[in-house]
């Protein structure tokens, strides 16, 4: 009787063993021999259900190796299929492929076997970019949804992009990759900024600065789609180029200055104003020529009405880049609008125009300064009486005023030439034409002003 029980137990164990083994083998044959992905999935899903329902130690090492590797391969085939019916078999196929290739590699490494370890190791570097690219696609979908006014959909797409970037970031740190891909962590942080989760964005950006992140990214044009796609690193990008799947591989400029700016803006949005100011100040020291950071620091000085500090800020920048017309224009505007030193404003604008004669804003402001100067004559003229002596003085002042208006004229004409259709420029130019006696030219501008207002 005991023999019968032992035989029965042995047969039962063999039946269970054979059950999973049969499904695994059938899945392999369906995929490798018949390229029948649907049938392969059915068999591997059956094997998956059986294995999940038992103690993993009861599965032979070789069968477990086959199961883990082919579960990954089959789901990768589903995710990459051009047949929509096949792709519809599992919407999470790419995620499962990623998970199981890593499991396959980890399992066979842990048992010291090499049934499929090398194959899984070769597959892994090609899967991570697919997850990254999917994240980038979600980001593009978010932008499209935003253009259509659907903010809720945009927010959900950005969250899915964040999840993909973080998934790729996390898996890249596992064997056999063992790499901290900071670009993924940075892109994930940007998604949080867009979704107004500033506390999470701060966490990302602070850690990236500690890591010394520079943000040089790589992308290439997909030969099939014609679209540019991101790569996690240069090695992956060049490998794709060698395979012929991508061309025109290119790398970006460092984004370290942008990183500091995004951290500072996240602090501001999170009402951490002291940290915002502190970060901008530090970033200005590190990147003295960065125009966006200059503007941010200037905004801080202007908010605090620290105009002299703002001028010092510009002068320090001009020492590093004396031929930058933007710095001179900003300096002129500070002198004009805030400090009220019109001669120094004029000097700054004149210097900007000397460097860049096409600088529309500097030309416009030079014209404005001369109009302000011309308008000062009005106060003197209004004080005069109708006596013969005063009328002579009036005519003289009027002539002098006209000469000042004439000085404004070439600056407004240049501003209009460089930036046609600007209403403020057109109105100022029309006023000067009237004041200098060019009535016909002034009236000709009516149509242009109306067209500009209509736009």
* 152, 122 contact by CB (below 8 A): no
Summarize pLDDT for 406-422 with one digit per residue, the tens. Answer: 999 999 999 999 999 89
Q: Is the pLDDT of residue 14 over 50?
A: no
Q: What's the gap between Cα 361 and its chain centre?
A: 28
Q: Is the peptide bond before 399 cis (omega within 30 degrees of 0)?
A: no
| Burial 144-175, CB ≥16 within 10 A → b, else e | ebbeeeeeeebbbbbbbbbbbbbbbbebbeee
Global pTM exceeds 0.95: no
Residue 359: exposure state from Cβ atoms within 10 A (0-12, 13-18, ≥19) = buried
Summarize pLDDT for 170-191 with one digit per residue, the tens. Answer: 999 999 999 998 989 999 999 9
Measured between alpha carbons, how far is 405 from 398 in angstroms, rounded to an integer?
A: 11
Measured between alpha carbons, how far is 175 from 254 in angstroms, rounded to an integer?
A: 28
Tokens representing residue 340 in the block: 């009220």
Measured between alpha carbons, how far is 131 from 114 in angstroms, rounded to an integer?
A: 26
Measured between alpha carbons, how far is 60 from 66 in angstroms, rounded to an integer?
A: 10
Residue 396: exposure state from Cβ atoms within 10 A (0-12, 13-18, ≥19) = exposed
Q: C-alpha angle with apex 208: 204 to 214, nearest 5 degrees?
A: 135
Q: Is the pLDDT of residue 9 over 90?
A: no
CATH class of 357-455: mainly alpha
- DSSP calls for 250-274: EEPPP-HHHHHHHHHHHHHHTT-HH
Instruction: Give the residue, 214 or 207, on which the prediction is more confident.
Output: 207
Summarize pLDDT for 338-358 with one digit per residue, the tens. Answer: 999 999 999 999 999 999 999
Q: Which of 352, 370, 372, 351 is nearest to 361 (CA)?
A: 352
* 332, 359 contact by CB (below 8 A): no
From residue 411, how far is each of 35, 315, 359, 368 by CA, in Å? 74, 25, 10, 9
Q: Is the pLDDT of residue 111 over 60?
A: yes
Tokens representing residue 11 in the block: 């047969």
For the chain, domain boundaries: 13-176, 357-455
Measured between alpha carbons, how far is 364 from 342 in angstroms, rounded to an integer?
A: 14
Q: What confidence tier does 232 reach under pLDDT thresholds 50, 70, 90?
A: low
Summarize pLDDT for 129-161 with one digit per residue, the tens. Answer: 999 999 999 999 999 999 999 999 999 999 999
Q: Which of 329, 261, 310, 312 is nearest to 290 (CA)?
A: 261
């Amino acid at each position: 009787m005991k023999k019968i029980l032992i035989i029965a137990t042995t047969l039962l164990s063999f039946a269970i063993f054979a059950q999973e083994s049969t499904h695994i083998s059938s899945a392999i044959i369906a995929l490798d021999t018949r390229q029948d992905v649907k049938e392969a999935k059915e068999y591997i899903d059956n094997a998956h259900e059986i294995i999940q329902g038992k103690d993993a130690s009861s599965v032979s090492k070789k069968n477990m190796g086959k199961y883990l590797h082919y579960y990954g391969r089959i789901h990768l085939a589903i995710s990459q299929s051009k047949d929509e019916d096949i792709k519809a078999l599992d919407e999470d196929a790419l995620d499962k492929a990623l998970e199981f290739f890593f499991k396959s590699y980890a399992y066979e490494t842990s048992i010291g076997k090499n049934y499929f370890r090398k194959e899984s190791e070769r597959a892994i570097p090609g899967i991570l970019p697919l997850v990254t690219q999917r994240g980038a696609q979600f980001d593009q979908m978010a932008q499209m949804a935003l253009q259509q006014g659907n903010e809720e959909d945009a927010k959900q797409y950005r969250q899915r992009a964040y999840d993909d970037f973080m998934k790729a970031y996390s898996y890249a740190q596992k064997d056999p990759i063992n790499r901290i891909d900071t670009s993924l962590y940075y892109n994930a942080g940007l998604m949080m900024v867009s979704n107004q989760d500033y506390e999470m964005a701060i966490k990302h950006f602070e850690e990236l600065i500690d890591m010394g992140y520079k943000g040089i990214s790589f992308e290439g044009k997909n030969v099939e789609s014609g679209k540019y796609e991101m790569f996690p690193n240069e090695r992956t990008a060049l490998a794709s180029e060698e395979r012929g799947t991508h061309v025109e591989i290119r790398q970006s400029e460092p984004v370290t200055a942008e990183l500091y700016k995004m951290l500072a803006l996240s602090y501001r949005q999170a009402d951490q104003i002291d940290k915002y100011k502190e970060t901008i100040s530090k970033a200005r020291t590190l990147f003295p020529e960065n125009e966006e950071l200059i503007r941010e620091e200037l905004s801080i000085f202007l908010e605090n009405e620290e105009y002299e500090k703002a001028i010092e800020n510009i002068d320090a920048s001009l020492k590093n880049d004396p031929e930058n017309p933007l710095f001179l224009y900003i300096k002129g505007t500070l002198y004009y609008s805030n400090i009220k030193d019109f001669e120094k404003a004029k000097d700054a604008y004149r210097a900007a125009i000397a460097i860049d004669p096409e600088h529309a804003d500097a030309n416009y402001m030079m014209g404005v300064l001369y109009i302000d100067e011309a308008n000062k004559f009005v106060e003197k003229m209004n004080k005069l009486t109708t006596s013969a002596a005063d009328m002579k003085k009036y005519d003289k002042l009027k002539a002098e005023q006209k000469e000042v208006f004439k000085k404004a004229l070439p600056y407004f004409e240049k501003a209009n030439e460089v930036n046609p259709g600007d209403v403020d420029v057109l109105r100022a130019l029309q006023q000067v034409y009237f004041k200098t006696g060019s009535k016909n030219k002034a009236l000709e501008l009516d149509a242009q002003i109306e067209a500009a207002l209509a736009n």
